[in-house]
Amino acid sequence: GLGDVYNRQGRGRVSRALITGAATWAVLGGTSLGREGVFMARALEDGDLEAARGRLSHLCARDPKGLGAAELARATVESLAENTSDAAIAPLLWGAVAGVPGLVVYRAINTLDAMVGYRNARYERFGWAAARLDDAANWVPARVTGLLTVLCSGREAWRVLRRDGKNHPSPNAGRCEAAFAGALVRLGGTNSYGGDIERRPEMGDGRAPEVADIRRAVRLSGRVALVAAGLAAAAAWGRR
């Protein structure tokens, strides 16, 4: 398996770095996240609500039926914030801490949560453990994502992160979304998942999201991931 390859071929520092780098590239979802965000932006800019609704499932499990452009924009910005941690920062951290095995285990946990971890009646029992495990695996990455967002944005992101991050029903997504809310636009509100309605507290003091804010969120997510990659590379170089 992949772990055996790591142990057998990764004895030297250079070999370990190459193998871990290749695995990180395979696991890292940051680039595809940006592409999904750009697709949503283009569809909504063109007024193609059906295309945007059909594509939303690539970013989140929210029910797209009946969502207008503003709500689709909010869903996209919130998903970009949360998935910056899940798809980019978490793999970088797990790769830095535990190498290839850590990357593989993290991706398995994240995939399992995406499949069965929804908090609804259908998956309440089977998905509970997957959701809790995913929360644990993303606890540190989510907080790092929030802090890096502040680093890339400024004081308002820090203020909203501290004030609103804990109000979200997710112990991790709230940190990411609150930081993005402070940096960009107000987030939160009423969402539907599989017919279940969730009313989430609003985060931030700005205006409501608009279609143009999707591209701003894509750029912010990219900056956060780039800074994280640079820090991870510097840490790896310092251990040589």
Model pLDDT, residue 130? 81
**How far apart (Å, rounded) are the C-alpha atoms in residues 78 and 178?**
9
Model pLDDT, residue 98? 84
Q: Is 194 left (phi over 0), alpha (psi -120 to 50) or beta?
A: left
Model pLDDT, residue 239? 62
- Burial (Cβ within 10 Å: 0-12, 13-18, ≥19) of residue 21: middle
What is the pLDDT tens value at each position of the chain, 240 positions in all?
555 555 555 455 655 555 555 555 545 566 789 999 999 999 999 999 999 999 999 999 899 999 999 999 999 999 999 999 999 999 888 888 888 888 888 988 988 877 765 555 555 665 678 888 999 999 999 999 999 999 999 999 999 999 999 999 999 999 999 999 999 999 999 999 888 899 999 999 999 999 999 999 999 999 999 999 888 877 767 666
- Cα distances (angstroms) measured from residue 129 to each of 32, 109, 119, 135: 27, 10, 11, 10
Model pLDDT, residue 70? 98
- Report the candidate in 235, 227, 186 with the shortest Cα–Cα distance to residue 73: 186
**How far apart (Å, rounded) are the C-alpha atoms in residues 111 and 107?**
6
The secondary structure of the chain, three-state, reads CHHHHHHHHCCCHHHHHHHHHHHHHHHCCHHHHHHHHHHHHHHHHCCCHHHHHHHHHHCCCCCCCCCCHHHHHHHHHHHHHHHHHHHHHHHHHHHHHHHHHHHHHHHHHHHHHHHHCCCCCCCCCHHHHHHHHHHHHHHHHHHHHHHHHHHHHCHHHHHHHHHHHHHCCCCCHHHHHHHHHHHCCCECCEEEECCEEEECCCECCCCCCCCHHHHHHHHHHHHHHHHHHHHHHHHHHHCC
Model pLDDT, residue 175? 98
Model pLDDT, residue 12? 57
State the Rg of the chain over Cα. 18
Model pLDDT, residue 118? 56
**How far apart (Å, rounded) are the C-alpha atoms in residues 99 and 103?**
6
Is the overall model pTM greater than 0.95, yes or no?
no
